[in-house]
Structure 1
């Protein structure tokens, strides 16, 4: 069930989240081979596949640790999940969450390139669940109903940053190349580029009428999402002119970077993925293993001390109660024990015994004329 954005915590500044879909059948094998090659080449410090018996059914989990400039350590966890073999979700869905020891710098290498051989034709660069390409040009549907549906879906998805670019005129081969290639490495695999053809401008802005932004003719806009970040300004998300001539769209790149830095809530599923990264992390260094064992020893010692303290308090309370009872009995004020019958149960008061005897006599059978007995009620009074 989807969690409302108001109830979700914000994305920590140290965290890099991404989600997508891989269409290859052997997605897990590609990850294993790629991680092993990067470790052999000393690009990453270490990697590990979580054993199947420790992972949820239908999922493959991989962990990797590496260092970025200034010796900042990054830990990342990739989860592959089985999806149906038909429809737009063919393949395996992947969720990748990385966390650094300090706020994330978009100039650092993308964690996606650590787990995936991104240069292959059949790669992990599909957005989930729309099936749009990450880091590529995605023409908007020609049907206006499908266009509105696509843009609404882009507004609701919090995993990716969506950019709509309007082509003032039909571009040549150079102009059709994706603009996301100019983004910093940390954003290239988190941005979806939508392209609107020259005649689609009015339909696009009609579809975006509730978002608070619109696409200028020959320009671009970064979609604010639903709900929009509190500090977002439609003017900061809009680029008046984008030249599709192969030159770097500096204004658009700056707008995407500014939007990526705004505080946004964790998208659906990211909170669980981040908790798994922090709490279930198993790729520990020797120092981290020693620190963890020390924490466990300290925790057990604290629990043992609390149990011992509770036992001593209980023993002290029992001794005080026993002393008080002894003093009470020796003072001669203790009530005498109640008399019991042969069964060991209290005999009851004399009035109760008399009442029970009367009840037995009241219902005793009386002899009849034929020598048999009949139940005869003794009159009261």
Structure 2
């Protein structure tokens, strides 16, 4: 199986996902969903960040960023950030990172359904690696080479959870129920289900050989992904039999849920998005805004205290320098020694202030500039 690269694991409080909207109205769909859920009091609030919608006359182009906040289990706050960007081959790609105040519970509502409509005819639920649907069954292609290419790409995916299910025999309508319908809500939009026809078992296992996994006849396997999570063992994530009779595949659901709980490195883009969620969050409550202002006041008070101490030190250093200079001049004039050149003045306290404030650069109002009158008062 693929070896794990060195990267930070996803925090247990985070929920990352990525996909593609195949239409051109992605931003409008998101805004309609946010408005509807806020009106229904499912969301506490939402926000589209200003200045992020440039690039398309129809509103579909450019980079768009949305924030939303809601509560689960009554009191646990979830914050989420959705980014939209044009895809190179049409449509728009979306990247969603949500974070809760405690460890993520997959029984909570999916953050995807806070931005996208949870309807079967929506165009937003396509996997970016393979282009396949996230909430549906994806039959493997008939061509053997196409099967190998598809499973190779699925095995290299660092985002979604890819599951390969083999049909031991041709199924009826009862066996055409997607795995996503049986998964906890928090996993339904992160799993790609590949279905192999009865005669495709050999080509499927041949294609999966580079991953060191195989599908049992009539069973399923959760692919390791790239890089593989810490603790992945293909024997633990291989299911011997999946009964495609409409009943819940309990063993396969348990395997997917256990896989999602493994320590898996954050993809590079998810790491960046999570950092933006932490450092560039705008959707603050009144209490959070007050707390932010208190921190700013404390920082500026500390900076002012450092400036005052710096000014006092400057004054003491200046007085000592002048005393030493006077003593040297008196000594030089008395014994006819060499002429004493003026001693340069020590650095201005404004330089100390600038260096001090640089340590406390935060978003928010800046301190008023020091005027010439203030400089005169400091020099007295």
Q: Quickly name the TM-score band, shorter chain normalised.
A: 0.7 to 0.9
Moved over 4 A (4+): 53-57
> How far, CA to CA, are the matches of 1:140 and 1:150 in structure 2?
8
SS in 1 for 2:327: helix
Contact 1:117–1:123 (8 Å) recurs in 2: no
Give ranges in structure 1 of 5+ residues lacking alignment.
339-381
CA distance in 1, matches of 2:235, 2:311: 67
CA contact (8 A) 1:222 1:256 kept: yes
CA deviation profile, 1:95-117 (whole Å, cap 9, x unmatched): 11100000000000001111111
One of 53, 69, 73 as aligned partner of 2:73: 69
Q: Quote how far apart the aligned CAs of 1:156 are.
A: 1.9
CA deviation after TM superposition for structure 1 residue 30, in Å: 1.3
Match of 1:376 in 2: none
Distance 1:308 1:229 in 2: 53
Check the 8 A contact 1:24/1:122 in 2, yes or no.
Answer: no
Change (3 A) 1:307 1:328: same
Cα pair distance change 1:25/1:336, threshold 3 Å: same
Asked whether the equivalents of residues 164 and 196 of structure 2 are also in contact (C-alpha less than 8 Å), the reply is yes
8-17 vs 57-66, which moves further: 57-66
1:285 equivalent in alignment to 2:285: yes
Aligned to 1:110: 110
SS in 2 for 1:234: coil
Asked if 1:250 corresponds to 2:250, the answer is yes
**Larger mean Cα displacement after TM superposition, 95-104 or 20-29:** 20-29
Tell me: CA distance 1:216–1:50, structure 2 relative to 1, closer, same or farther (3 Å): same
Q: Distance in 2 between matches of 1:140 and 1:120?
A: 21
TM-score normalised over the length of structure 2: 0.82
> In 1, are the aligned partners of 2:129 and 2:157 still within 8 Å (CA)?
no
Instruction: Give, in whole Å, the separation in 1 of the partners of 2:297 and 2:145.
Output: 62
Deviation string for 1:96-150 (max 9, x for gaps)? 1100000000000001111111205133111114211001111122222222221
Higher radius of gyration, 1 or 2: 1
Deviates more, 1:43-52 or 1:314-323: 314-323
TM-score (norm 1): 0.82
Task: State how far apart, in whole Å, the 1-side matches of 2:52 and 2:297 are.
Answer: 26
Aligned to 1:266: 266
**Contact 1:39–1:46 (CA under 8 A) maintained in structure 2:** yes
Q: How far has the Cα of 1:234 moved from its partner?
A: 1.6
Give the distance between the partners of 1:207 and 1:329, measured in 2 at CA: 91
Q: Following TM superposition, by how much is the alpha carbon of 1:311 offset from its aligned partner in structure 2, in angstroms?
A: 3.0
Q: Structure 1 pair 5/327, CA: closer, same or farther in 2 (3 Å)? A: farther
Unaligned runs of 5+ in 2: 56-60, 341-380
Aligned mates of 2:235, 2:65 — CA distance in 1: 41
Q: Contact between 1:162 and 1:223, CA under 8 Å: does it hold in 2? A: yes
